[in-house]
């Protein structure tokens, strides 16, 4: 299976430490973090994704707002620059240790700051990055057979 992620969630997963909007959102995100850490592939999508799913029926869910769509675009541009490849809707990739290291290093250096500028979680993510990402839940899969990039 693949985890469907929108653009800005490619950055969010770098600093996810188990906090979220609601208990159901957080439980779902923890399960997704486990799947990604086990080497499951990521399929980039437009709009609401597997992380958004528990929020879609909530009053005031922001998953479809234009500002979030803009954040997705900025995040995809940043991730593309960091990984030296175009990452767009339809891209499928997996995060091995090197990719996560490159993304986290760039995130800590502020290279994704434009995508996170208006995010309510930005200060938490900055603290996680400043702490060396020590408590993050998404880790690289250890099985080398799981680290291949998908086309």
3-state secondary structure of 2: strand
Tens digits of residue pLDDT in 121-140: 999 999 999 999 999 999 98
Asked whether residue 106 carries a pLDDT value surpassing 60, the answer given is yes
Helix-strand-coil split of the chain, %, nearest 5? 50, 5, 45
The residues spanned by each domain of the chain are 2-141
CB 75 within 8 A of CB 8: yes
> In the predicted model, what is the mean pLDDT of residues 54-82?
87
Say what the pLDDT of residue 147 is.
40
Tally DSSP H helices, then E strands, for the chain. Answer: 6, 3
Q: Can you give the pTM of this predicted structure?
A: 0.89
- The Cα–Cα gap between 140 and 94 comes to 9
Cα 110-39-117 angle, rounded to 5 deg: 20
Q: At what angle do helices 97-108 and 7-15 cross, to 10 degrees?
A: 90
Say what the pLDDT of residue 142 is.
61
Distances (CA, A) of 94 to 3, 23, 61, 100, 114: 10, 27, 28, 10, 24
């Amino acid at each position: 299976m693949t985890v469907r992620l929108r653009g800005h969630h490619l950055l969010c997963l770098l600093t996810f430490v188990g906090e979220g909007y609601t208990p159901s959102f957080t439980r779902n995100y923890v399960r997704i973090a486990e799947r990604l850490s086990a080497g499951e592939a990521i399929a980039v999508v437009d709009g609401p994704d597997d992380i958004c799913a528990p929020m879609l029926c909530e009053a005031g869910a922001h998953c479809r707002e234009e500002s979030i769509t803009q954040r997705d675009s900025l995040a995809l541009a940043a991730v593309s620059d960091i990984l030296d490849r175009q990452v767009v809707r339809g891209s499928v990739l997996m995060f091995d240790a090197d990719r996560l290291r490159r993304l986290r290093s760039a995130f800590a250096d502020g290279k994704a700051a434009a995508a996170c500028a208006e995010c309510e979680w930005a200060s938490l993510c900055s603290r996680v990055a400043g702490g060396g990402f020590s408590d993050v839940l998404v880790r690289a899969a250890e099985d080398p057979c799981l680290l291949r990039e998908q086309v």
